[in-house]
């Protein structure tokens, strides 16, 4: 069971890069997002909650094995944040899958790396797996909000 938790937390290996594991880990979820891009809202919602549940379940064990609770190679949290960002772009805009995923990826990574506002607060104030997860959810939430505003403006 511990090996399963570890592999889920490191994004099925996508976060094991020694260079920019958060970025490579985020890339790891893109193929799945490509396939569900035009899926119904329920698929997006269920997928999001499954990823969050898997994150809360797997992060503590991976952190123990890696020697750090928020080790860079733990990327299931990036998967959940990127899922939320892609959900917003897919459901709120008319962008094609390729453009939408590129914008979502870069937007999510910018908010995740710069730790603006709520992203920083979540990372500093929330403990354990929740803190590891919620800063990425906040980063994805920023992209979702921007997609919603863009979708409303563009009609």
pLDDT tens-digit profile of 27-55? 999 999 999 999 999 999 999 999 999 99
Count CB-CB contacts under 10 A for residue 56: 17
Q: Is 33 left (phi over 0), alpha (psi -120 to 50) or beta?
A: alpha
**Residue 153 pLDDT > 90:** no
Distance between CA atoms of 150 and 42, rounded to whole angstroms?
22
Tokens 């998967």 appear where?
79
| Domain locations along the chain | 2-148
pLDDT of residue 28: 97
Arithmetic mean of pLDDT, 141-146: 97
pTM for the whole thing?
0.96
| Burial letters 112-138, b for 16+ CB under 10 A, else e | beebeebbeebbeeeeebbbbbbbbbb
pLDDT tens-digit profile of 25-34? 999 999 999 9
Tokens 């939408």 appear where?
100
pLDDT-derived band at 18 (thresholds 50, 70, 90) equals very high
């Amino acid at each position: 069971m511990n090996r399963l938790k570890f592999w889920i937390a490191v994004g099925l290996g996508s976060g094991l890069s020694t260079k920019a594991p958060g970025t490579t880990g985020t890339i790891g979820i893109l193929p799945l997002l490509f396939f569900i891009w035009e899926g119904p809202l329920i698929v997006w919602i269920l997928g999001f909650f499954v990823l969050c549940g898997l994150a809360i379940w797997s992060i503590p064990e991976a952190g123990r094995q890696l020697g750090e609770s928020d080790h860079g190679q733990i990327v299931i949290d990036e998967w959940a944040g990127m899922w939320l960002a892609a959900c917003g772009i897919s459901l709120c805009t008319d962008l094609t899958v390729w453009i939408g995923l590129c914008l979502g990826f870069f937007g999510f990574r910018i908010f995740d790396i710069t730790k603006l506002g709520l992203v920083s607060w979540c990372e500093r104030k929330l403990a354990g797996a929740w803190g590891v997860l919620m800063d990425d959810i906040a980063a994805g939430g920023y992209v979702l909000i921007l997609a919603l505003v863009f979708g409303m403006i563009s009609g």
